[in-house]
A and B are shown apart, each in its own frame.
Chain A
Amino acid sequence: MSSKASSTYLPAGLPIPVAEPDNLSAPYWTGLRQNRLMVQRCGHCHTWQFGPEWLCHRCYAFDPHWTEVEPRGRIFSWERVWHPSHAALRQHGPYLAVLVEIPHAGGVRMVGNLLGDPMQAVVIGADVEGVFEHRPDSDPPSSLLQWRICQIASIP
């Protein structure tokens, strides 16, 4: 179906994300499949933590809880990638990757692609909102979290 071809930012064939054999990050990847952004937050001292770990780095409580977070943030850094470091990206042209900081989740950061024109001017500090990108046909099925510039500026 032609709409499927344009529904993912990067072409199929890149490595597919899965949880580790010990399932440390499984709640994160399962959450993305369900349009939910899940981040660890310690049930004891409420410290945010991402990427996940078995231990809260602040108070040493084991098994920090997973909390749903609204997928909004601001661009902390970015890059425009030209050189294809994978066969799936040959002939693809430039693409944008961004590092997004999530202020309402303790400032944790995540990497995604910035949707839209790959040649757009990117401004550090710009507000972005998350877009869940589902890949039901990957093996195993997977979902990513992408970002796009917020059309309405958030209240500072």
Chain B
Amino acid sequence: MAGTDRTLRGRVAVVGIGETEYYRHGASPDPEFKLALKAILTACNDAGLDPREIDGFASYSDDRSDASRLAAALGTRRLRAATMQWGGGGGGCCAAVANAAASIVAGLADCVVVFRSLAQGQYGRFGQATGIDTISGEKAYLMPYGVLAPPQRFAMRVQRYMHEHGVRQEALRAIALASYHHAQANPRAVMHGKPLDAAKYDASRWIAEPFHLYDCCMENDGAAALVLVSEERAGEFRHKPVYVLGAAVGSGYRAGAIPHNSPLYASASFDTVAPDLYRMAGLGPSDVGVVQSYENFTGGVVMALAEHGFFRPEEANEFLTLENLIAPSGRLPLNTSGGNLAECYMHGFELVLEAVRQVRGMSTNQVKRNDVAMVIGGPMVTPVSNLLLGSDAML
């Protein structure tokens, strides 16, 4: 069978999106599973879909809201797909959509909900490592040296990248400023009403050099979900369908060599995954009008954008300026909801929802070029994943 036949391009569409209110960590009045249910029902309502028609669930990062429990709670008539993306934390945010899309294209399921629910207040914060006595495996080589939580695990990777390519702190700062700029127009954003400027960024405390406070994602409580159906059914719902144009998952040669032994160390792990995405979509970087790029840390966004061909690493300082990165008509509007830094750390799933809004033309920071929207999931981990979404004009 010809490789060109095996594609997701144009075969499935997002027809509904929904999220809960987004909270600071520990501030949700609802437990995590209830948040998941609320987000899923909101997404179904957005689509105009009877939730009993859902026949599959897909998530990532070991989401605790189990598919069978969801199916029982929602009265799912028959469950036909339940996929969990291995590893990589937020790097699975696009892979979960790809897995759901693959289930539909392969005929395993017809209507799959993709979601992430996360209550860090209920279950513990990613940013604190207290309560561990002994440790083995990868973390044994790191934690006794104070390399405990994600900021410390990723700072050396970014430091090396900055060293190799002459990237300056101002490039990282521009990414933080763009997220906060967009959050000011987004009432869902946890940082709505809390603007950031260059002076405030520069004066903020170091978390782990080269990361200031504002280079690091938030920790939040909430849930977000979308509904995916086959292209044949895409027109039956309330909103303009948003098509999957391409998706890719994975990482390059021995990216998982621990501890910090991946051959291509100063990388966001998209060296093989970005070309795969463009190949499936039949598109290139210049076709992309708006990008949502997962910010665990701003430095990872620099690498991820370069690896997707938006600029060469040596051009990062000139490309990454606030005016280039903001809607409606910057050179490459980035993280237009505020993303993990300023909307909500919904483990990247808020980025997927924002890409859908952009293609629909319903973002609070709507861009002009909105026929093709990219999502980049989880830089510097493995596996990572990415997505290209687009309007029917791209089919």
Contact = CB atoms under 8 A, between A and B. Distances in A.
Interface string B72-90: 0000000000000000000
A57 interface: yes
Interface stretch (A60-68, A72-80, A148-156): A72-80
B395 interface: no
A18 B136 contact: yes
A99 B262 CA distance: 12
Contacts of A144: 144-145
Nearest to B149: A85
A126 interface: no
Q: Which of B146, B156, B254, B260 has the most CB of A within 10 A?
A: B146
B155 A79 contact: yes
Given A51-B257, A57-B254, A109-B261, A15 B152 contact: no
Given A15-B135, A15-B144, A50-B261, A76 B160 contact: yes
Contacts of A89: 146
Interface residues of B, number: 44
Given A15-B139, A77-B157, A77-B159, A111 B260 contact: yes
Contact of A85 (B137, B144, B148, B266): B148
Interface stretch (B31-39, B63-71, B205-213): B205-213
A62 B148 CA distance: 31
B152 A97 contact: yes
B136 A25 contact: yes
B106 interface: no
B286 interface: no
Nearest to B253: A57
B129 A109 contact: no
A8 B138 CA distance: 22
A93 B146 CA distance: 12
A111 B148 CA distance: 12
B137 A77 contact: no
B141 interface: yes
Interface string B108-144: 0000000000000000000111101111111111111
A113 B143 CA distance: 11
B206 A15 contact: no
A16 B156 contact: no
B327 to A, nearest CB: 31
B145 A86 contact: no
A5 interface: no
B254 A86 contact: no
Nearest to B155: A79
Given A51-B138, A51-B258, A15 B151 contact: no
B286 to A, nearest CB: 33
Contacts of B135: 15-18
B201 interface: no
Given A79-B210, A111-B145, 18 more contacts: A17-B135, A17-B140, A77-B156, A77-B157, A79-B156, A79-B208, A81-B147, A81-B151, A82-B205, A83-B206, A83-B208, A85-B148, A87-B130, A94-B206, A97-B152, A111-B142, A111-B147, A124-B163
11 contacts: A14-B143, A19-B136, A20-B137, A51-B138, A79-B155, A80-B206, A85-B151, A94-B206, A99-B160, A109-B265, A110-B260
